[in-house]
């Protein structure tokens, strides 16, 4: 007989039971899991998670028939946002392990998301076995077409595929009607390329994180909500100014190269971005000071480091633009050395001040904690 209690776990990473069947997870116990499977089967009979849940119940029945102590559970993530969903799975599994007092796990999956959920599960409970449920079907052209149609009906997939393609085609048609067919092709390639970079560099997750921080700060009445909004506006202004600067120098000399165009962008945008970084840092510091004062030492250096990084980037951009002989640049060769020297030294000095202040604040907090412990004793 197996040692300890076994958790038979079915993981619905994209939360089909919640999104399609309106079933809240976790579903703990045989009856709750069967109810979730039946509800999902009625909502979408073709969903593979139905088979995975029934397989989990079958494994649970087999274990209990052999006299083993086991429990069957279904947990889910988030249908639209995978990172939030994975965090939810980790938190829910913590709760389930504590509630069921299980010591090992048999993971049941439909096979599509194994490589993502297995490390999450293993970080919470040892996985002794993995059962992948694959539904056998006859592959044919009609079935392939139907699967593609079902995927495109899913808003999670359609947002990723249909929206950028539709936007690119709309822009192409608009530019073509206005009499700029060459420009239309450039616009389409630019839109698709920008979207691929947006997804490839994980900018979408950053945007989701910013929106989540905005919602949290607004719902809690935090000062940082105002600074977040101000920062977003300043970042937009900074990017616009940077692009305007690039276009200005591009109109003078269109053969500067990617590096110099990047430097012209930094030269035009960096002041706005520095101010934006300082403002959001101040908002975070104020919130932490008012609500979690013991953590103030971890954020007090933010504005100093933002300033340091901004000044160093500014000095480097000015130096490269001057020594490269960019036409119509407002500074001369005599200014190049002074700008990179003074901006770098000022940036390093700002970083040192930030480290010193952080050390001083951490020291004060440690003294306060020791004093509080002495008073308690």
Residues 160-176 have pLDDT tens digits of: 677 777 777 787 787 77
**pLDDT above 50: residue 2:** no
Residues 293-334 have pLDDT tens digits of: 788 888 888 999 999 999 999 888 888 888 877 777 777 777
- Distance from C-alpha of 250 to C-alpha of 254, rounded to nearest angstrom: 5
User: Region 256-268: what's the mean pLDDT?
Assistant: 82
Q: Answer yes or no: are the C-beta atoms of 299 and 328 closer than 8 Å.
A: no
User: Region 200-223: what's the mean pLDDT?
Assistant: 73
User: Region 127-136: what's the mean pLDDT?
Assistant: 77
Provide the 3-class DSSP secondary structure of residue 111.
coil
Is omega for the bond preceding 26 within 30 degrees of 0, making it cis? yes
pLDDT reported for residue 265: 86
Rg of the chain taking only CA atoms, in angstroms: 28
User: Tokens standing for 172?
Assistant: 């192409």
| Residue 26 neighbours by CB under 8 Å, 6+ apart | 73, 74, 75, 92, 95, 96
Query: For the ranges 31-45, 257-271, 276-290, which has the lowest average pLDDT?
Result: 257-271
pLDDT reported for residue 138: 47
Q: Answer yes or no: are the C-beta atoms of 268 and 329 closer than 8 Å.
A: no
pLDDT reported for residue 363: 87
Provide the 3-class DSSP secondary structure of residue 234.
helix
**pLDDT above 70: residue 144:** no
pLDDT band at 275 (very low <50, low <70, confident <90, very high): very high
Nearest to 311 by CA among 281, 258, 283, 274: 274
Name the more confident of 197 and 146.
Answer: 197
Provide the 3-class DSSP secondary structure of residue 274.
helix
Q: Answer yes or no: are the C-beta atoms of 272 and 306 closer than 8 Å.
A: no
Average pLDDT of the chain is 81
Q: Which helix (H) or strand (E) holds 245?
A: helix 224-252
User: Region 255-279: what's the mean pLDDT?
Assistant: 85
pLDDT reported for residue 304: 92
pLDDT reported for residue 1: 43
pLDDT reported for residue 141: 45
pLDDT reported for residue 307: 92
User: Tokens standing for 47?
Assistant: 């969903």
Name the more confident of 148 and 168.
Answer: 168
Residues 214-254 have pLDDT tens digits of: 777 777 777 878 888 898 899 999 988 888 888 877 776 66
- As to burial, measured by CB atoms within 10 angstroms (0-12 exposed, 13-18 middle, 19+ buried), residue 238 is buried
- Distance from C-alpha of 222 to C-alpha of 228, rounded to nearest angstrom: 10
pLDDT band at 157 (very low <50, low <70, confident <90, very high): low
Which percentage of the chain shows pLDDT scores above 90? Answer: 13
- As to burial, measured by CB atoms within 10 angstroms (0-12 exposed, 13-18 middle, 19+ buried), residue 138 is exposed
pLDDT reported for residue 153: 63
Provide the 3-class DSSP secondary structure of residue 130.
strand
pLDDT reported for residue 186: 72
- Distance from C-alpha of 176 to C-alpha of 328, rounded to nearest angstrom: 35
Q: Which helix (H) or strand (E) holds 71?
A: strand 70-76
- Distance from C-alpha of 10 to C-alpha of 96, rounded to nearest angstrom: 12
Nearest to 133 by CA among 50, 72, 33: 50
**pLDDT above 80: residue 63:** yes
**pLDDT above 70: residue 189:** yes
**pLDDT above 70: residue 185:** yes
Query: For the ranges 32-46, 74-88, 349-363, which has the lowest average pLDDT?
Result: 74-88
């Amino acid at each position: 007989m197996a040692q300890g209690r076994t958790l038979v776990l079915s993981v619905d990473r994209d939360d089909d039971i919640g999104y399609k069947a309106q079933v809240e997870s976790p579903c703990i116990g045989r009856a709750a899991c069967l109810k979730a499977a039946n509800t999902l089967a009625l909502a979408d009979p073709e969903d593979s998670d139905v088979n995975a849940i029934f397989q989990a119940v079958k494994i649970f029945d087999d274990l209990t028939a052999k006299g083993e102590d086991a429990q069957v559970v279904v947990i889910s993530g988030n249908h639209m946002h995978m990172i939030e969903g994975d965090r939810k799975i980790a938190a829910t599994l913590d709760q389930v392990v504590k509630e069921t007092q299980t010591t090992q796990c048999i993971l049941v999956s439909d096979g599509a998301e194994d490589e993502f959920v297995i490390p999450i599960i293993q970080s919470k409970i040892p996985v002794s076995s993995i059962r992948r449920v694959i539904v056998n079907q006859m592959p044919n052209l009609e079935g392939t077409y139907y699967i593609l149609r079902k995927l495109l009906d899913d808003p999670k997939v359609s947002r990723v595929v249909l929206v950028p393609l539709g936007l690119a085609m709309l822009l192409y048609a608009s530019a073509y009607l206005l009499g700029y067919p060459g420009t239309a092709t450039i616009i389409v390639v630019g839109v698709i390329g920008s979207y691929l970079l947006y997804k490839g560099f994980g900018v979408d997750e950053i945007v989701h994180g910013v929106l989540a921080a905005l919602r949290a700060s607004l719902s809690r009445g935090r000062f940082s909500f105002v600074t977040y909004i101000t920062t977003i506006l300043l970042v937009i202004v900074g990017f616009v100014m940077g692009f305007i600067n690039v276009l200005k120098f591009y109109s003078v000399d269109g053969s500067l190269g990617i590096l110099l165009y990047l430097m012209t962008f930094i030269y035009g945008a960096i002041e706005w971005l520095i101010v934006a970084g300082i403002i959001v840092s101040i908002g975070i510091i104020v919130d932490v000071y008012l609500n979690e004062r013991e953590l103030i030492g971890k954020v007090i250096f933010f504005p100093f480091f933002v300033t340091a990084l901004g000044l160093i980037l500014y000095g480097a951009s000015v130096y490269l633009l001057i020594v490269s002989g960019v036409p119509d640049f407002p500074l001369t060769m005599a200014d190049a050395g002074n700008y990179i020297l003074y901006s770098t030294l000022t940036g390093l000095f700002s970083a040192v001040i930030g480290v010193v202040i952080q050390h001083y604040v951490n020291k004060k907090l440690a003294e306060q904690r020791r004093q509080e412990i002495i008073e308690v004793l």
